[in-house]
Amino acid sequence: MKLMLHKESNMPLYEQIYMQIVQRVQGGILKAGEQLPSLRTVAGDLQVSLLTVRKAYKLLETKGYVFIQPGKGVYVRGKRKITAKPEDPYEWQRSLPVHVARSQYLMNRQKKYYDFSQAVLFPRLLPTQFLADEMKEVINRNQMLLATYGPVQGDEELRAEITKYLKDHQGLTVNPSDLLITSGVQQGIDLIAQTLLKPGDTVMVESPCYGAAIDVFMNKGMNVISIELDEEGIRSDVVEAICQKKKPALLYINPSFHNPTGTLMSVQRRRELVDLAEMYHFFIIEDDSFGEIYFDDLTLPPPVKQFDKSGHVIYLKGFSKTLAPGVRVAAVAAEGPVFDWLYGVKALMDIGSPLLTQKAMIPFLKTNRMKNHLEKLRTALQIRRDMTVEILSSLTTAAFTIPKGGFNLWVGLPDSIHSLVLLNEAKKQNISFLPGSACFVHDPEHQYIRISYSLLSDKDLQIGMKKLCEVMRDVQDKHSPYPFKS
Amino acid sequence: MKLMLHKESNMPLYEQIYMQIVQRVQGGILKAGEQLPSLRTVAGDLQVSLLTVRKAYKLLETKGYVFIQPGKGVYVRGKRKITAKPEDPYEWQRSLPVHVARSQYLMNRQKKYYDFSQAVLFPRLLPTQFLADEMKEVINRNQMLLATYGPVQGDEELRAEITKYLKDHQGLTVNPSDLLITSGVQQGIDLIAQTLLKPGDTVMVESPCYGAAIDVFMNKGMNVISIELDEEGIRSDVVEAICQKKKPALLYINPSFHNPTGTLMSVQRRRELVDLAEMYHFFIIEDDSFGEIYFDDLTLPPPVKQFDKSGHVIYLKGFSKTLAPGVRVAAVAAEGPVFDWLYGVKALMDIGSPLLTQKAMIPFLKTNRMKNHLEKLRTALQIRRDMTVEILSSLTTAAFTIPKGGFNLWVGLPDSIHSLVLLNEAKKQNISFLPGSACFVHDPEHQYIRISYSLLSDKDLQIGMKKLCEVMRDVQDKHSPYPFKS
């Protein structure tokens, strides 16, 4: 493990060392029981004083991330047994200066039955039968589809249908030739980051933020700055203050039913962000994964993209959330020279997304089915949201704002509960959720968790939530605020 | 357009400016008719003298990439009309320091009937019917497959089958748990580059090299060094000489039926490369896209990966070439901590490849079908290779080495033919091929073309090749060696 310092950063060096190790522990790159390099090694590699490294290690110990075995070394805390493997032939890889610091997926490899950790729909709410039939139809009509590469930009007919969909359902006007099909929104984020950013660029995100977006930016060596939200969305005055000091390359936002907090950005705030992007020439990634899922007969504001007239906003719309994760189709809307750059990089990423699923979803989008389907989804998810809110508020003192749409509830834990301690205990009851720490850029806040009420059946949701509340009360009584300490 | 200089590079500054513009023109990022920034702007941006920029622009003019309109500016040569668009709202994007310099796919958007430009199989040679039926079966058995994300690592059953396949068909021993499924080999290359490299790292490639691999490395800001081949493959003595001067991070190779030249690397050379990787601790990407397609009853040497005992070689095997491009399934084999890093980054790239196609190919791999299918492919492609060789050598004085496997013939054009002039004329006859220039890292060589004999039917191959030979003789008589000059 080699670390990198940004010597021009405002952050003290010991804090940078501390952060980078915390990120690796949290991102699953450094595992429980692994030994950290010695003070001397780190100091030598980074050309800093021993004192600086010692300060960082001390802080890691205080915060409960590592423990020090006198005379032996410093180890990552956790349950895995420490075994020395002197003959490991792959050990040389650990000394590489690798920049993969975090990936929330590395931590989530173990599935639990009461799964509140994924913002994914309950499979029976999805039009799987229709899609399956249509896929068979597509194969019958044209097997040769499998034998050729599709267009890198994505199927033309699909792009035309998505254009109509965006107009009808999101109030967004785009041109089919300005759409590029990707394998899900996640690939869209990665594509834009690969195309537009270089290490050291400043990227602004909401705080908290969708963890897998943070991970993309952090792993590419960006200088990620997080900006607080209020009830209208990301604070545009803070965005402006940052623009006056630095030259940010990009702002990543979830304006409609923000992941994880569920916040809906006001129209005023949307306009302000576009104004700022035009003035300071940064790109905005508008990740609109949840826009269709609004509750309580809300009137949805237009996407941020709709206010953009000069190619500053790159809009992402996915269909994994509303049609099916197995479909893996999303669209990126971008105008100007940047479109060709994205096209070129998408080709280099995978030579274009497969045609079969693109073709299969066209008939669903074309008919009234999609409209009816979305209405059904809104109803079903509103019921789930209400249930979750009801159980949580009757059984715990957890704090939250009721979301007006989306799949997630952002929960502030009753004081003294550490999210990772809670997760540890919950897993024993076959329950999982996303610890809020995954949604912060630097020093993670541990008093939050994200509950996705989308994946379980009504019944399992009820049972699971009640169990989770029990675990919460249990932990509240018994445990110390730091994980893994006795 | 903003350029970047590597001030510590051995290459003179004017040459770096020249190269970067050439790459953008060739990569389709700078289009015919586009105006280059003024001498003063470039000099100011890069903090170099006006003389340096003038030298670069002069060289661009001499080589035929740009023309100078006195009093107006410098423009990219080509057929597009120059139109001033002062009111273009997206113009601001052009001043961004974007690092997308090349993507061969940007140039290949127009399909031609006699298509020798793609190393893709003639669709009727593929087991499309079987795969289509199996896909319908999979959907019938388990629709819910569409409604969930598959494992990020790829389907477990498929990984077990690929393990067997690699053992039986390539003589490679790997563990199913060390395989990661990607959407094609191209995604595998991108994944490894994203995971292991940072801008400025030294990457070694063969010269010539698969263009889309060069593009991935160049666009990520790598210092790409190309190393010549001899009849045994990449020159390992040159690799060693580079290791003694620099610390390369990676070597990318196609040992079996190298793309584009068709060279088969000797066993000795394979061993030497692993020895060097172990000694100097760099990774090797072994892209084994064509290993199954050998001719003349050749005995295939084991993959480079087979000699690796310490996780230095990352092996890539794709099934788009032999089963179907629409399948988009490839496997990455890697051991040690690097496996988890790749896993984490793959998750962030697209949350895992779709399950449907993974499930659908299992029965084909499982039975004897794959073995029989590969035998059929070898026969069919050997016939196509022989035809191509026969026509070329009887009708032209082009120079080439007969490949012992693979999809491609690397052709040295009779002197004075420029590959882009030839391509221009060929397109008028509805013919396309890959200009060799796409396969070089820096100053492209224009006297080569790559002919892929895989995509057309026997009959079209014959007609197309004869037409191409005519165009070649025609160009030889009429044209000047530089493109776009009168």
**For chain A, domain boundaries:** 13-87, 114-120+371-478, 143-366
Q: Please determine, for residue B378, whether its predicted confidence score (pLDDT) is greater than 80.
A: yes
- The CATH H-level superfamily of B114-120+371-478 is Aspartate Aminotransferase, domain 1 (3.90.1150.10)
Q: Hey, are the CB atoms on A341 and B29 less than 8 Å from each other? A: yes
Which one of A121, A328, A356 has the shortest CB-CB distance to B326?
A356
* Neighboring chain A residues of B90 at a CB cutoff of 8 Å: 310-311, 335-338
In angstroms, the CA B433 to CA A281 distance is: 40
Which one of B88, B184, B344 has the shortest CB-CB distance to A27?
B344
Which one of A184, A324, A355 has the shortest CB-CB distance to B351?
A184
Which residues of chain A carry a pLDDT beneath 70?
Answer: 8, 79-86, 108, 479-486
CA nearest to B91 within chain A:
A336
Q: Please determine, for residue B90, whether its predicted confidence score (pLDDT) is greater than 60.
A: yes
CA nearest to A221 within chain B:
B198
Q: Hey, are the CB atoms on B93 and A129 less than 8 Å from each other? A: no
- For B128-366, the fitting CATH number among 1.20.120.790, 3.40.640.10, 3.50.50.60, 3.10.580.10 is 3.40.640.10
pLDDT of residue B83: 56
Return the structure tokens found at A452: 């996705």
* Neighboring chain A residues of B132 at a CB cutoff of 8 Å: 139-140, 143, 146
* Neighboring chain B residues of A147 at a CB cutoff of 8 Å: 121, 123, 126, 128, 324-326
* Neighboring chain A residues of B109 at a CB cutoff of 8 Å: 152
Query: Which of A350, A356, A359 would you mutate first to test chain B, the one with the most B CBs within 10 A?
Result: A350
pLDDT of residue B485: 44
Q: Hey, are the CB atoms on A105 and B132 less than 8 Å from each other? A: no
Return the structure tokens found at A213: 């977006």
Return the structure tokens found at B279: 């000694």
Torsion (CA) A271, A273, A274, A279 in degrees, nearest 10? 120
CA nearest to A347 within chain B:
B105
Which one of A139, A341, A348 has the shortest CB-CB distance to B212?
A348
If one looks up domain B13-86 in CATH, what number appears? Answer: 1.10.10.10
Would you call A326 helix, strand, or coil by DSSP?
helix
Q: Hey, are the CB atoms on B147 and A103 less than 8 Å from each other? A: no
Q: Please determine, for residue B171, whether its predicted confidence score (pLDDT) is greater than 60.
A: yes
Torsional sign, CA A284, A290, A295, A300: positive
| ipTM metric | 0.90
Mean pLDDT of B277-290: 96
- For A143-366, the fitting CATH number among 3.30.1490.100, 3.40.640.10, 1.10.287.180, 1.20.1530.20 is 3.40.640.10
Q: Hey, are the CB atoms on A215 and B348 less than 8 Å from each other? A: yes
* Neighboring chain A residues of B353 at a CB cutoff of 8 Å: 183
Q: Hey, are the CB atoms on A105 and B309 less than 8 Å from each other? A: no
Q: Please determine, for residue B483, whether its predicted confidence score (pLDDT) is greater than 70.
A: no
Task: Identify the CA nearest to B350 among candidates A182, A214, A186.
Answer: A186
Which one of B98, B128, B354 has the shortest CB-CB distance to A146?
B128
Q: Hey, are the CB atoms on B309 and A89 less than 8 Å from each other? A: yes
Return the structure tokens found at A195: 């195309």
Task: Identify the CA nearest to B193 among candidates B123, B99, B280, B126.
Answer: B99
Strands B431-435 vs B448-452: parallel, antiparallel or unpaired: antiparallel
Which of A388-392, B51-55, B442-446 bottoms out in mean pLDDT, i.e. has the lowest?
B442-446
In angstroms, the CA B112 to CA A359 distance is: 24
CA nearest to A126 within chain B:
B147
pLDDT of residue A64: 85
CA nearest to B102 within chain A:
A344
Q: What whole-number percentage of chain B has pLDDT above 90?
A: 69
pLDDT of residue B481: 55
Q: Hey, are the CB atoms on A354 and B357 less than 8 Å from each other? A: yes
In angstroms, the CA A339 to CA A168 distance is: 24
pLDDT of residue A335: 96
Return the structure tokens found at A121: 């729909």
Q: Which of B59-63, B103-107, B174-178, B320-324 has the highest mean pLDDT?
A: B174-178
In angstroms, the CA B369 to CA B371 distance is: 5
HEC-encoded secondary structure of chain B: CCCCCCCCCCCCHHHHHHHHHHHHHHCCCCCCCCECCCHHHHHHHHCCCHHHHHHHHHHHHHCCCEEEECCCEEEECCCCCCCCCCCCCCHHHHHCCCCCCCCHHHHCCCCCCEEECCCCCCHHHCCHHHHHHHHHHHHHHCHHHHHCCCCCCCCHHHHHHHHHHHHHHHCCCCCHHHEEEECHHHHHHHHHHHHHCCCCCEEEEEECCCHHHHHHHHHCCCEEEEEEEECCEECHHHHHHHHHHCCCCEEEECCECCCCCCCECCHHHHHHHHHHHHHHCCEEEEECCCCCCECCCCCCCCCHHHHCCCCCEEEEEECCCCCCHHHCCEEEECCCHHHHHHHHHHHHHHCCCCHHHHHHHHHHHHCCHHHHHHHHHHHHHHHHHHHHHHHHHHHCCCECCCCCECCEEEEECCCCCCHHHHHHHHHHCCEEEEEHHHHCCCCCCCCEEEEECCCCCHHHHHHHHHHHHHHHHHHHHHCCCCCCCC
Mean pLDDT of B367-387: 95
In angstroms, the CA B315 to CA B285 distance is: 6
- Class of residue A244 by CB neighbours under 10 A (exposed 0-12, middle 13-18, buried 19+): exposed
Chain centroid offset of residue A116 CA:
15
Q: What is the DSSP letter of A63?
A: T
Query: Which of A103, A146, A197, A308 would you mutate first to test chain B, the one with the most B CBs within 10 A?
Result: A146
In angstroms, the CA A438 to CA B86 distance is: 46
pLDDT of residue A465: 98
* Neighboring chain B residues of A210 at a CB cutoff of 8 Å: none
CA nearest to A34 within chain B:
B337
From B106's Cα to the closest Cα of chain A, the distance in A is 6
Which one of A103, A123, A147 has the shortest CB-CB distance to B126?
A147
From B421's Cα to the closest Cα of chain A, the distance in A is 23
pLDDT of residue A486: 36
CA nearest to A191 within chain B:
B349
pLDDT of residue B34: 86
Mean pLDDT of B182-204: 95
pLDDT band at B82 (very low <50, low <70, confident <90, very high): low
In angstroms, the CA B306 to CA B171 distance is: 8
Torsion (CA) B332, B334, B338, B342 in degrees, nearest 10? 10
CA nearest to A197 within chain B:
B98
Q: Hey, are the CB atoms on A349 and B349 less than 8 Å from each other? A: yes
Q: Which residue has the tokens 């060799």?
A: B436
* Neighboring chain B residues of A215 at a CB cutoff of 8 Å: 344, 348
Query: Which of B350, B353, B358 would you mutate first to test chain A, the one with the most A CBs within 10 A?
Result: B350
Q: Please determine, for residue B486, whether its predicted confidence score (pLDDT) is greater than 90.
A: no
Is CATH 2.40.110.10 the classification given to domain A13-87?
no
* Neighboring chain A residues of B126 at a CB cutoff of 8 Å: 146-147
Task: Identify the CA nearest to B73 among candidates B48, B106, B38.
Answer: B38
* Neighboring chain B residues of A136 at a CB cutoff of 8 Å: 136, 139-140
